[in-house]
Amino acid sequence: MRKATVPLIIVVIIIVAAIVFIETYKKEETGVLVISGRVEADEVMLASEIPGRLIKINIDDGVSVKKNDIVALLDSRELRANKEEILKKIKSYRARIRAAETNLKHLKKEVEHQIEQAQKLLSIAESRKSQIKKDLRLKRQKYKRYSELFAKGVIPKDRYEEIELAYRTAVDELKVAQAEVERARTAVKNAIDSRLKIKAGEDEIKALRASLDAMKETLRIIEVRLSHTVIRSPVDGIVLKKTAETGEVVNPGGVVGIVVDPESIHVKTYLPEPYLGRIRLNDRVEVVTDSFPDRPIEGYICFISDKAEFTPREVQSREERVKQVFETKVCFDKEKPIKILKKGMPVDVRIPVGSQKSG
């Protein structure tokens, strides 16, 4: 019995060795390295920029979206009411500014006219005063001479009194003329001072315009926030996950969905160190999925890490875990849409390998 067992063990060893030899020979014959990997892609968050309540969501898991497609809507009623209110205020302030500008224009004309008229009256008053002073000087001289003649009894009293009355009247007229000049000067000063009303009018318009500018800025902010009530997709892609529902309240940055950018789809795998010298960037490879094993997808090596690491933990055997590998990425031609690859899908990467390649 013992003798029969030994030949059986030998037969089993020979069979196993033959299988290993055949598989090894096949691998070398085909010259293809098969390593496992996983599909990865860049995720784009469809997020709200403002707080608000969702009133509509236009996406579901797995649907395609185009750049600028509307994916969700926030309640905008309050913002629209605020916009209407600020528009009314802007309209009112514009009307006030137009009225103030019209009043200021008229005020300027009126003030300048008043100044011009006051200066003319002052000129007339000063001219009249100057003439009266000349007359007074002559009448004073005449009065002085006639006073001496009257004192000597050369002229009669009535003639003297006539000359005296003319002189006294000229003195009174000069006082009146002087008063008129003072009043005219006061009128000119008041007219010039009324220019302060112009300054006040200009200041009022500046204040109104400043308020109008502030309202316009408020309107701009409201319009920006209104635009943010429409959440759009920033890229073409496929919705990986819908994360919010109609009626929910979202905060700024709140995500309503996650989109995968198809152009960023790639396979992440790990290249065993012994094959590092046989594979280069841009080498063509095939990616095979479990779902469609008969539909290999052509890609190319787009990244090989220059830093070695140990095999990821999901490799089960300890012997495999202690082997060093290099992170490698497989990319795909963008002009060839890759529809069967989904983020997170496990795949096999078939890499043609030959003899050691020279650098």
Task: Give the DSSP letter string of 153-222.
Answer: T-S-HHHHHHHHHHHHHHHHHHHHHHHHHHHHHHHHHHHHHTHHHHHHHHHHHHHHHHHHHHHHHHHHHH
How far apart CA 359 and CA 341 sit, in angstroms, is 33
Cα gap 44→71, rounded to integer Å: 13
Give every CB contact of residue 214 below 8 A, 6+ residues apart in sequence.
none
As a whole number, mean pLDDT of residues 67-94 equals 97
Mean pLDDT of the 237-248 span: 93
How does the average pLDDT of the chain come out, rounded? 86
Q: Are 354 and 328 in contact (CB under 8 A)?
A: no
Q: What is the pLDDT of residues 269-313, one digit of tens each?
A: 999 988 888 899 999 999 999 988 899 999 999 999 988 887 665
* 83-92, 108-117, 244-253: segment of lowest average pLDDT: 108-117
Residue 150 has a pLDDT of: 84
Place of tokens 């860049």: 42
pLDDT digits (tens, 9 = 90+) for 134-170: 988 999 999 899 888 888 888 899 998 998 999 999 9
Residue 67 reports pLDDT greater than 90:
yes
Percent of the chain with pLDDT over 90: 59
**Region 96-101 average pLDDT:** 96
3-state secondary structure of 66: coil
CA distance 227 to 102: 37
Phi-psi region of 153 (alpha: psi -120 to 50; beta: other; left: phi over 0): left
Distances (CA, A) of 158 to 17, 165, 240: 170, 10, 127
Amino acid at 209: R
Superfamily of domain 32-42+262-352: Efflux pump adaptor protein, beta barrel domain (2.40.30.170)
Rounded Cα–Cα distance for residues 276 and 301 (Å): 12
Question: 């690491």: which residue's tokens?
Answer: 309
Q: How far is CA 58 from CA 6, 205, 252, 258, 352, in A?
A: 72, 49, 19, 13, 44
Type of residue found at 167: Y
**pLDDT tens profile 319-359:** 454 478 999 999 998 776 577 888 889 999 999 986 555 44
- Please, which residues have CB within 8 angstroms of residue 36's CB and are 6 or more apart in sequence? 269, 346, 347, 348, 349
Q: What is the pLDDT of residue 131?
A: 92
Choose the CATH number for 45-75+228-260 among 1.10.1200.10, 2.40.50.100, 3.30.1180.20, 3.40.50.20: 2.40.50.100
pLDDT of residue 81: 98
Q: What is the mean pLDDT of residues 32-43?
A: 92
The predicted pLDDT at position 252 comes to 94
Q: Residues 6-37: pLDDT tens digits?
A: 455 554 444 544 443 334 333 433 588 999 99
Domain ranges of the chain: 32-42+262-352, 45-75+228-260, 79-225
User: What's CA 330's distance to the chain center, in Å?
Assistant: 38
Query: What mean pLDDT do residues 238-255 have?
Result: 94
CATH of 79-225, one of 3.40.50, 1.10.10, 1.10.287, 2.30.30: 1.10.287
- For 91, 129, 137, the CA distances from 166, given in Å and listed in that order, are 70, 17, 12
